[in-house]
A and B are shown apart, each in its own frame.
Chain A
Amino acid sequence: MPSETKNYRAALIGAGSRGMGLRDEANQADRISVVATADPVETNFESLKTEGVVVYKDFERMLEVESVDIVLVATPVRTHYDVAKRVLEFPITALYLEKPMSTRLWQADELIRKAEEENVYFVVGHQLRYSPGWADVKILVMQGAIGKVEYIRARRGWPLLTHHTHQTDLMRYYADDSPAEWVLGQIHRSGSFLSENIELEMQALGFVQFENGIFGIIEAGQYKQPPVENMVMLIGEKGEIRVGPDAHYRSEDTNGTWTPVPQFEQPDIFEDLLHWIEGGPGHRSAARNGRDTLEILLAIYESSRSRSRISLPMERRGNAFEEMRADGILP
């Protein structure tokens, strides 16, 4: 087990805006330095070079030359599987893969299997589990502020895979990562709709039955004016929490008056990764959580395709949305 004084060399693959943001976040951890970057079209190379970061067009070449502990992958979603799979063939300690892990469940499973085989600490970028506000709600819930949670509704004005994945992941976090028993859902698409350069749905609805009894509702899409807000609403035996642009709650204890969700001390997502590597109990955004979140989203597509409720774990581990488009069922 690495000592708690070790410094970690990190490399970034994909130097677009998300990658550069991720690099900044990683560099904020005291013992992580992003020393190398790879990007096939040399995005942001000039500024990276002035900061002393070694740049490569080819990420495999970078990983052959540079000895790094942590790899950050922020490439286009479609490439996540191929890039991450190749990265896992190098002797690294940890992999941080942007969300969604992949667009297909079997690929997510394959990456997890490979990472476990290679003893790589594998995290997926559902960083809201560490963001002030969103993450504070979890602590408030654990403190019993609204009693037993009965209902969680998560809403986002963008598609499931590229954006609602954050809200669905939070729903799971607030539900104690209770396994989803089954999903019922529907999507809408009347023509081309691109999100992060992927053809996706315009609107989606999902119901999630969690094993611990929580009733989960997923609503996605930008279908009205004013635009749909990012929001999660929790209802419990004693009160409610609404978290979005701001986070507030009310309960019997607040006499029904809106009260801001308190700010708690939250660990940094990268500091927590080091803590995990160095023997900590785990990571909130461990890839298994990212995979389970992805499964719920893909189950909504599968429910639309099969016109039925989908039991989890899913038998079909592809992507029903892609399959329906390929079959001409969806435009």
Chain B
Amino acid sequence: MAMLKAGVIGCGGRGQSQARGYHVSSDVDLVACADPLEAARTAFAERFGVKNTYSDYRQMLEKEKPDIVSVATWTPLHREITITAAHSGVRAIHSEKPMAPSWGDAKQMNQACVDNNVVLTFSHQRRFAAPFIKAKQLANDGTIGQLCRVEGTCPNLLDWGTHWFDIFFFYNNDEPAEWVIGQIDASEAQEVFGVPVESSGLSWVGWENGVEGLLATGGAAEKDISNRLIGTEGIIEIGSQNAKPMRVLSSKSQGWTVPDLSDLESKGNETVLSVLDLIDALKNDREPELIGWKALQATELIFVTYESSRRRAKIYLPLDVEDSALVTMLESGMIGNTLDT
């Protein structure tokens, strides 16, 4: 296969993390980068030996005609850049998460790529990280009996919660979800990468195969825990940010035990592995692990949770609104500091 040309849009920290994947691949030439900030693109170019830098990503797409582009900008820009890139003749787009500020934007991005035969992937790179792979193995090999429940805690549903919703699907073998009942509190709403997020959130998810999940965010986030998997015969816990090691409780484990992750950890950095998987998928004409439809199913749970708050009801999928109920409710004063009761 001829060398693939890659370009990175957005030269900040996440852009650089993704670039490491292109940099180490023998199948890819990292040919260009784009960022409106000169300092950012210069630093990026120096670090990765990139010759051509652009202030306008459109020019980069036009002149470089990359095969793969990474989109590592703030979230509100994802839609426009992805749709533009999808029409520019690229083969693949690897975008940062979260997909978009609204459900409609997320669907449009994915559809533009499907329509143009472009492979779209998102940085849900936890699927390549050791504890999560181990947890999936243990959840599926009978160590904790039958998997009944997945739980996650993190600061918010959109920016971090997208990882946990995605990893819930990963644990549950990407089976379809059926319903969500949830709530958000936006009394101290903050912005993350240009999009408002709740200060506390809850999302109870039912999957068609009977597995259930709970994501608790912000103030409701359980201390020191990232993920918990509950089976009929045991529990797996993954601690947050190394606060606690991963541990497993089952009759096979003789009390809480810490599984050996060294083999999985030796495979390398999860962001790099995500990029390499995309490259390998392009080479071998297979679906990459982080393909758009998987990102969409995680993203849908975010916006369904917001919608459950708006409608004060359990919501069955598919979600039938295009906006972000959180943003709409904040803008109209239904939630936030000025409660319209």
| Chain A interface (Cβ < 8 Å from any Cβ of B) | 150-151, 182, 184-190, 202-203, 205, 207, 209, 213, 215, 217, 219, 223-224, 233, 235, 238-240, 250-258, 303-309, 324, 329-330
Contact = CB atoms under 8 A, between A and B. Distances in A.
A250 B234 CA distance: 9
B232 to A, nearest CB: 10
A203 B312 CA distance: 11
Interface residues of B, number: 44
B313 A307 contact: no
Contacts of A253: 255
Given A224-B206, A305-B341, A255 B255 contact: yes
A89 B252 CA distance: 61
A205 B202 contact: yes
Of B181, B184, B187, B341, most A-chain CB atoms within 10 Å: B181
A209 B220 contact: yes
A256 B254 contact: yes
Contacts of B202: 184-186, 205, 207
B308 A186 contact: yes
B81 interface: no
Interface string B253-279: 111110000000000000000000000
Contacts of A215: 216, 222-223
Given A189-B313, A307-B183, A256 B339 contact: no
A309 B251 contact: no
B217 to A, nearest CB: 10
A308 B254 contact: no
Contacts of A186: 181-183, 202, 204, 308-309, 312
18 contacts: A151-B222, A186-B182, A187-B312, A190-B313, A209-B220, A217-B216, A224-B206, A254-B255, A255-B255, A256-B256, A257-B251, A305-B341, A306-B339, A307-B184, A307-B312, A308-B186, A308-B339, A309-B185
Interface in B175-224: 181-187, 199-202, 204, 206, 210, 214, 216, 219-220, 222-223
Interface string B329-341: 1000011000101
Given A190-B313, A252-B255, A307-B334, A184 B249 contact: no
A203 B200 CA distance: 20
Contact of A307 (B206, B249, B309): B309
A219 B185 contact: no
A186 to B, nearest CB: 4
A188 B219 contact: no
Nearest to A316: B341
B82 to A, nearest CB: 31
Contacts of A238: 255-256
B185 to A, nearest CB: 4
A184 B200 contact: yes
Interface of B: 181-187, 199-202, 204, 206, 210, 214, 216, 219-220, 222-223, 228, 230, 234-235, 249-257, 308-310, 312-314, 329, 334-335, 339, 341
A240 B235 contact: yes
Contacts of B256: 238-239, 252, 256
Nearest to B221: A215
Contacts of B210: 224
A142 B201 CA distance: 31
A203 B251 CA distance: 33
Nearest to B341: A306
A324 B313 CA distance: 13
Contacts of B312: 186-187, 304-305, 307, 324, 329-330
- Nearest first, the 6 A-B pairs at minimum CB distance are A252-B255, A188-B314, A309-B185, A186-B183, A255-B254, A256-B255
Contacts of B341: 305-306
Given A151-B222, A184-B183, A219 B253 contact: no
Contacts of B249: 239-240, 250, 256
Contact of B335 (A219, A257, A308): A308
Contacts of A187: 312
A319 to B, nearest CB: 15
A184 B185 contact: yes
Given A239-B256, A255-B255, A256-B253, A308 B187 contact: yes
Given A213-B223, A308-B185, A309-B185, A205 B204 contact: yes
